[in-house]
Amino acid sequence: MTTEIIKIFDTTLRDGEQSPGASMNTEEKIRIASQLERLRVDIIEAGFAAASPGDFDAISQIAQKVARSTVCSLARAVDKDIKAAGEAIKHAKFKRIHTFIATSSIHMEHKLRMTPDEVIKKAINAVTYAKEFADDVEFSCEDAGRSDIGFLKEITDAVIEAGASTINLPDTVGFRMPSEIGEMIRIMSEYTKGRAIISVHNHNDLGLGVANSLESILNGARQVECTINGLGERAGNAALEEIVMAMKTRKDIFVGLDTNINTKEIYLTSRLIANITGIEPQPNKAIVGKNAFAHESGIHQDGMLKNKETYEIIRPEDIGIDISDTLILGKHSGRAAFKDKLTKLGFEANNEEINKAFERFKELADKKKNIYDDDIRALVTSEMTHVEKVYELIAMQLMDSTGGVPSAAVTIRHKEKEKTDASIGGGTIDAVFKTIDRVTGFKGTLIDYKVTSVSQGKDALANVTVKVTFDDSEPAMIGHGLSLDTMLASAKAYIGALNSYLSMQGRLKNSSSKGI
Ligand code: KIV
Ligand code: ZN
């Protein structure tokens, strides 16, 4: 029997980034795109090129880096968006433009204020223009879940005629039940058979994103749009890991169907996204939650000891969790043991990255007794995200706010020179950030600040994420800082955001993207 491949279209970098608080900087997006490629997703939606120069820059960097997966940019059905998308992906080996317009009555009447005929005309123009930049054009009927099926057929005929080869039918507001989505996909798949691939994109507002995607596959969808950890607008999107593992575990239901995903990369990819965005999957989240393989009750533990299949339907090793690895690293561990650990955790780091991460591991091991796998993942992730260190934190001294005025003294290295200054602030963090502004001469405005602990224990590493605009110019930049000391992590995050800003400015100056 021949196996049909369901294409996995990952939109973590676009719809996923629309999750509140999930913004990522260019270097982090590049790192994620490389990991998505290792996971073997078929299509990476790298962003929305027309949204900002930062988005454009990130897509264009990813297009130059990714070789195996198709790189895609989203574009509204307007010329300026399509042009930006086309230019951003122009260096990709495999490229796609994904253009969309709403097709439900409620969206056409109240949002677009357009008649159905006008919508069809715009869709045809968009696809025709997109074909000037890429052979592979996907068209989405936004809010297809609430659109009239007759109109879906009509607009689909028109865009296929104009050159679209994938028709995506999103349940944009996550409203539909699996049986309803299944019926829509069955009708549309039969209608477009041999002319286009039907794709789905299911939001999770009623917790049905994954169920609706699986039902769609059973009814003829041959592409699924999804995100790692289910990130996405509002309640999120269908989680990639859940769709893929459901298909793999229930081969008896998904007969003759498979994906290209290397499931052993799932856990590492999930941890990478959680580390970078600072958004942890809930502990009981299917497949990648911290408790997904933890058996707490005595009866379950007893069953597991007798035969794992009593309570385990997925083996942790299938998603890349190495349960046989009992090696605990500490301050006496050498480089070889460290490197071995990285391999077991699924990292493919080069020698320079290993050396840098090993140095940081040694510093950490001096101060922290138990080093968990999560600590190592966080250390290596921060070393493998390459932002040029234009400014580097050398030292920091704080005056406690108890009973006094909070103040900070900071030493920063820039172009081999060190400069120290001090400042007071409303609180300690305020004092630290103000001092960094004084030393560097850039005025930052803090938009968001988040701190999470990487592993357990009082001595856990702090992972600080900041979102800052510099000199009042958009877009806001994301910075991450990792340290046992939360204040130090905060200062590193703030300087990291500034370095990202400078590196993006440099790239935009040197590229033709300026002005988009
Ligand atoms: O949810 C949605 O409809 C979308 C489209 C742009 C594909 O994200
Ligand atoms: Zn969406």
**pLDDT value for 326:** 52
Out of 76, 78, 203, mutate this one to test ligand 1's pocket (max ligand atoms within 8 Å of CB): namely 203
In this chain, the answer to whether the domains covering 4-277 and 392-513 adopt an identical fold is no
User: CA 358, CA 379: separation in Å to the nearest integer?
Assistant: 9
**pLDDT value for 436:** 97
- Residue 419 CA to ligand 1 center (angstroms) comes to 48
Q: Is it the case that residue 142 has pLDDT exceeding 50?
A: yes
Closest Cα to residue 258, out of 247, 246, 266, 245?
247
**pLDDT value for 206:** 98
Task: Look up the pTM and report it.
Answer: 0.86
**pLDDT value for 328:** 65
The confidence band for 55, taking pLDDT boundaries of 50, 70 and 90, is very high
**pLDDT value for 327:** 59
Parallel/antiparallel/unpaired status of strands 417-424 and 444-453: unpaired
- Residue 7 CA to ligand 1 center (angstroms) comes to 17
- Residue 338 CA to ligand 1 center (angstroms) comes to 42
**pLDDT value for 307:** 82
- Residue 249 CA to ligand 2 center (angstroms) comes to 26
Average pLDDT over residues 412-421: 95
Over the chain, what is the mean pLDDT? 91
User: CA 138, CA 401: separation in Å to the nearest integer?
Assistant: 56
503 Cβ closer than 6 Å to some ligand 1 atom: no
Atom of ligand 1 nearest to the CA of 143: 3
**pLDDT value for 511:** 60
Atom of ligand 1 nearest to the CA of 168: 7
Where are the domains positioned within the chain?
4-277, 298-384, 392-513
Strand arrangement of the beta sheet that strand 462-470 belongs to: 444-453, 462-470, 473-483
**pLDDT value for 515:** 32
Sign of CA dihedral 80, 85, 88, 89: negative
Parallel/antiparallel/unpaired status of strands 223-226 and 7-10: parallel
DSSP 477: E
Sign of CA dihedral 292, 297, 300, 305: positive
**pLDDT value for 514:** 31
Q: Is it the case that residue 23 has pLDDT exceeding 60?
A: yes
**pLDDT value for 323:** 65
Out of 201, 203, 205, mutate this one to test ligand 1's pocket (max ligand atoms within 8 Å of CB): namely 201
Ligand found nearest the CA of 72: 1
- Helix/strand/coil (H, E, C) string of 353-377? HHHHHHHHHHHHHHHCCCECHHHHH
pLDDT in tens, 200-220: 999 999 999 999 999 999 999
100 Cβ closer than 6 Å to some ligand 1 atom: yes
**Top-level CATH class of 392-513?**
alpha beta
Average pLDDT over residues 400-413: 86
140 Cβ closer than 6 Å to some ligand 1 atom: yes
201 Cβ closer than 6 Å to some ligand 1 atom: yes
Average pLDDT over residues 97-116: 98
Percent of the chain with pLDDT over 70: 97
For 143-147, 252-256, 351-355, 430-434, which range has the lowest pLDDT when averaged over its residues? 351-355
Helix%, strand%, coil% for the chain, nearest 5? 45, 20, 35
The confidence band for 512, taking pLDDT boundaries of 50, 70 and 90, is very low
- Residue 170 CA to ligand 1 center (angstroms) comes to 6
Average pLDDT over residues 161-169: 98
- Residue 100 CA to ligand 2 center (angstroms) comes to 11
- Residue 151 CA to ligand 1 center (angstroms) comes to 18
Closest Cα to residue 102, out of 72, 146, 157, 136?
146
Average pLDDT over residues 63-67: 97
* Residue 246 vs residues 215, 219, 257, 368: alpha-carbon distances, Å: 11, 16, 12, 39
User: CA 294, CA 303: separation in Å to the nearest integer?
Assistant: 13
pLDDT in tens, 254-268: 999 999 999 999 999
pLDDT in tens, 306-361: 788 888 899 999 999 876 555 567 788 888 888 888 887 878 788 888 888 888 88
Q: Cα 200 to the chain's mean position, in Å?
A: 19
Average pLDDT over residues 486-503: 94
Phi, psi dihedrals of residue 261, rounded to the nearest 5°? -65, 135
Q: What is the dotted CATH code of the domain comprising 4-277?
A: 3.20.20.70
**pLDDT value for 190:** 98
170 Cβ closer than 6 Å to some ligand 1 atom: yes
Minimum CA distance residue for ligand 1 atom 2: 172
pLDDT in tens, 244-294: 999 999 999 999 999 999 999 999 999 999 988 878 899 999 999 988 987
Q: Which residues of 249-275 are buried (b: 16+ CB within 10 A; e: fewer)?
A: eeeeebeeeebebebbbbbbbbbbbbb
Residues with CB in 5 Å of ion ligand 2:
15
**pLDDT value for 325:** 53
**pLDDT value for 19:** 85
Q: What is the CA radius of gyration of the chain?
A: 24
- Residue 30 CA to ligand 1 center (angstroms) comes to 22
